[in-house]
Amino acid sequence: MRLKIKGEITPEQLVKAFEVAMKELEAAVPGGKFYGANLYLTPYAPDGELLKVFDERGSPAALIVPAQPGTNVKPALSAEAQQRRDDAREAERQREAQVVERDRKVVAEHNRKRQIQAVQLANARIAFIALNELTSKLLASEPEGLIDGLNEAIRASWQNQKPKEPHGPRKGELKPVPEFSIVDGKLSLFTASWQNPRPLFNPVGTLSLNLNTLAPVWTHSAWMIAVDGFLNVMARLNGSMPLEIFGEHLPQRKSPE
């Protein structure tokens, strides 16, 4: 219990303060008693200046009033109180152990996820490089076949899915059909909503460091179906597909819209 006394400290004020404190203690814990107290006295000179009192060593003065001979410095702990204290200590120990175990599991799960993400990113990076290399190979060996095949996959998906604009002034209208082409020897994609064609390393997706996957240009169903067609076109022209391209890192088609 903290006790703050305002005004000049006199024996009468100290007695009054103790009586107030005892009244509060009795209301809270009937039969309770005070043992020991830290009393900080603030000294002032007669002219009102705040004083600092030091002992002979130059340290702030600290006085100790010993207990009366034959009296207890504090009451003896009963068996019931000792049991309560032991129970409280055990409960605190268990809480601390639970916190430590919870933190251990959190760290272990974090490390597990990081390891999984590292493997996913490594696989996605390998697939991305393989797709880029295969795209470059086909651009050199089968440029017309590649572009015609990619664009046919887009047209077939658009004709089947008929994707609509979900927002903006053209909401509800059919999305413009994208078209692949070769610009300066590189694969490029253009759609009516863009000002200029965008160069792409491959038609499937770009490496996403945040998602540890290959991110497609768009994620709506018509484009995702077209992406499946892109892979089929590349496999047909190449005769096969490198196995490292396939996996969960490839763009995944969402549920039907």
For residue range 8-45, what is the model confidence (pLDDT) as tens digits?
888 888 888 888 888 888 888 888 887 778 877 888 88
Residue 136 domain-assigned (yes or no) = yes
Cα 222 to Cα 101: distance, rounded to the nearest angstrom: 48
User: Mapping DSSP to helix (H, G, I), strand (E, B) and coil, where does residue 151 land?
Assistant: helix
Q: Structural domain of residue 16, as residue ranges?
A: 11-76
When mean pLDDT is compared across 24-33, 44-53, 54-63, the lowest value belongs to: 54-63
pLDDT band at residue 257 using 50, 70 and 90 as cut-offs: very low
Among 76, 93, 123, give the residue marking a domain's end.
76
Same domain for 124 and 29: no
pTM above 0.85, yes or no: no
Distance, C-alpha 181 to centroid of its chain = 42
Specify if 170 maps to a domain: yes
Residues 219 and 165 reside in one and the same domain? yes
Are residues 117 and 183 both part of a single domain?
yes
pLDDT in tens, 120-145: 999 999 999 999 999 999 999 999 99
Is the domain of 48 the same as that of 143?
Answer: no
Tokens of 105: 């599991």
Cβ atoms of 246 and 252 within 8 Å: the answer is no
Q: Do 236 and 123 share a structural domain?
A: yes
pLDDT at 104: 96
109-127: b (≥16 Cβ within 10 Å) or e: eeeeeeeeeeebbebbeeb
Would you say residue 116 lies in a domain? Answer: yes
Domain match, 64 and 109 both? no
Q: Are residues 114 and 209 in the same domain?
A: yes
Percent of the chain with pLDDT over 90: 60
**Domains contained in the chain, number:** 2
Among 176, 152, 150, which Cα is nearest to 164's? 176
Write out the H or E segment, with its range, that includes residue 244. Answer: none
What pLDDT score was predicted for residue 38? 80
What pLDDT, on a 0 to 100 scale, did the predictor assign at position 255?
Answer: 42
- Mean pLDDT across the chain, nearest whole number? 90
Which residue, among 45, 63, 46, has the nearest Cα to 54 in the 3D structure? 63
Cβ atoms of 164 and 172 within 8 Å: the answer is yes
With CA atoms as reference, report the closest residue to 186 among 118, 220, 139. Answer: 139
Distance CA 198, CA 207 (A): 16
**CA–CA distance, 237 with 115 (Å, rounded to integer):** 36
Residue 171 lies in a domain: yes
Q: Please tell me whether residues 38 and 129 are part of one structural domain.
A: no
